[in-house]
Structure 1
Amino acid sequence: MSRPAGLAGDPLEFAVMTEISIIAHLADNAFARRLPDGLTTAQFAVLNHLLRLETQQTIGELARGLQVSQPTMSSTVKKLEEKRLVTLVPDPDDRRIRRVSVSPAGTKARNKAVKALDATKSELAVLSQKEWKQLLPLLNRLRVALDSAR
């Protein structure tokens, strides 16, 4: 039997955020099981973040953007660099600064990981394509608001 997140009397916003948190945890685990070539969810997150924003970022910027510590991000980027999925590019204005750039192999690995999600389509068929299209703008608006408030 499915029960809503939270307890009776909890604010609606809390219940929705709890549902999102549980969904995120379940989705991360399902996705991690399907990631190709030894890619971790943290490594995928870096590739996806940089490609989605069409940018290069320093390790500090990545750490802030993905809300992890700088040493954790340094370790993740080092592993991506060892796999040749990213390169560190000197900043043109300050050669001491290096920016993380996704390599062509990194783009390919990210796209391969996204294709691996096809295996979850049957699990996600609980919502119609129309419902997914309706849900996306609402979640996007919530993400943008939460991101700007941090």
Structure 2
Amino acid sequence: MSETGPSAYFRLFNEIGIIEQLSRTMFEARLPPGFVVAQFSVLNHLVRTSDGRTPLALARAFQVPKTSMTHSLAVLERADLIEFRPNPKDGRSKLVHITDKGRQFREDAIAALAPDIARISQSISLDHVAALLPGLTALREVLDADRDRPEPD
């Protein structure tokens, strides 16, 4: 029997949460020592969206405290994966830019997943993955929009 209503949505989010935990652990095992997925995610975000975001904008995008984002950015800066540049619109703030080394780090991290992806592809076909992506993208877009919506009073 298929689930309906709220229980189906809960099951969906539960499965996503479990997948997130398992995939994060798998990915972190492939990252160089001293790096975690949160830091990779900042690099990935800068490549996917655009360079030149303030630390506060990044913290909001990831829905984390500014102090957590500041820590991730410090790790990335020490490794020369990002750099801070003056904000031309606001002299008091800085903008985060990914470096060439940061772009290469991202590409190398993705490439390091090749053995895991090869193993997973033995059980889940590319056609199945392609069929899942539109629904997951739609869900992410709804959640992205909700993130930016003001809280109800």
Could you state the TM-score of these two structures normalised by the residue count of structure 1?
0.89
Alignment of 1:26-105 (within 5 A): 26-36=22-32, 38-105=34-101
Equivalent residue in structure 1 for 2:130, among 129, 133, 140: 133
Q: CA RMSD in A?
A: 1.7
- Name segments (4+ residues, structure 1) moved above 2 Å: 36-39
- How many residue pairs align between the two structures? 143
> For residue 139 of structure 2, what is the amino acid of its counterpart?
L
Q: 1:38 to 1:26 in 2, by over 3 A?
A: same
Give unmatched runs, 5+ long, in structure 1.
1-6
Counterpart Cα distance in 1 of 2:19 and 2:33: 25
1:19 and 2:15 correspond: yes
Counterpart Cα distance in 1 of 2:143 and 2:124: 25
Partner of 2:150: none
Give unmatched runs, 5+ long, in structure 2.
148-153
1:111 and 2:107 correspond: yes
Counterpart Cα distance in 2 of 1:107 and 1:37: 18
Counterpart Cα distance in 2 of 1:143 and 1:85: 27
CA shift digits 1:4-37 (9 cap, x unpaired): xxx9x97111111100110011000000001135
Deviating more after overlay: 47-56 vs 122-131? 122-131
Equivalent residue in structure 2 for 1:147, among 127, 131, 144: 144
How far residue 129 of structure 1 moved from its aligned partner, in angstroms, is 0.7
Percent of aligned pairs sharing the same letter = 36
> For residue 75 of structure 1, what is the amino acid of its counterpart?
H
> For residue 127 of structure 1, what is the amino acid of its counterpart?
I
How far residue 138 of structure 1 moved from its aligned partner, in angstroms, is 1.0
> For residue 87 of structure 2, what is the amino acid of its counterpart?
D
> For residue 110 of structure 2, what is the amino acid of its counterpart?
V
How far residue 97 of structure 1 moved from its aligned partner, in angstroms, is 1.2
